Structure 1
């Protein structure tokens, strides 16, 4: 009887040990995955900040005006070139 109990307890101990090893392995694997995801998130945040800086640079009025003059041959409007529309076609 004592041998049977020892065998059952030994089997239970081995199973518990294997479960502990497996859970530690899963914990390490998930921890590494979290670290990689956090590093990717930091990289994306840096890219987002860079894109926002680029957008603010490209949206400046002076740059837009210079591009309009250079690429589209646009000139500022003057009062003598302004046409006013009135109701009734007069």
Structure 2
């Protein structure tokens, strides 16, 4: 009878250790999941901001401004087209 009691006590202790370990692992994984979700939301917000910036850079006014300032381009006139001479 004493051996059975000792065996049952060891079984209860082992199951308690396994239960504590699984609870700890569950909390750790939940914390990692929460971090991953927060990082995903941050990346989604960054992607949205970058898309808005890309859209703003591609507007006609912005392209025209860059063409004038950086490339030295000018608006073409009918006189220049007719004569074939660059001003």
* Same fold, judged at TM 0.5 (above): yes
Closer, same or farther: CA 55–81 of 1 in aligned 2, 3 Å: farther
Superposition deviation, residue 81 in structure 1 = 5.5
The residue aligned with 1:58 is 57
The residue aligned with 1:87 is none
Instruction: Please give the alpha-carbon distance, in whole angstroms, between the structure 1 residues aligned to 2:83 and 2:26.
Output: 74
Instruction: Please give the alpha-carbon distance, in whole angstroms, between the structure 1 residues aligned to 2:30 and 2:42.
Output: 19
Q: CA RMSD in A?
A: 1.5
Superposition deviation, residue 77 in structure 1 = 3.0
Q: Give the gaps of 5 or more residues in structure 1.
A: 83-90
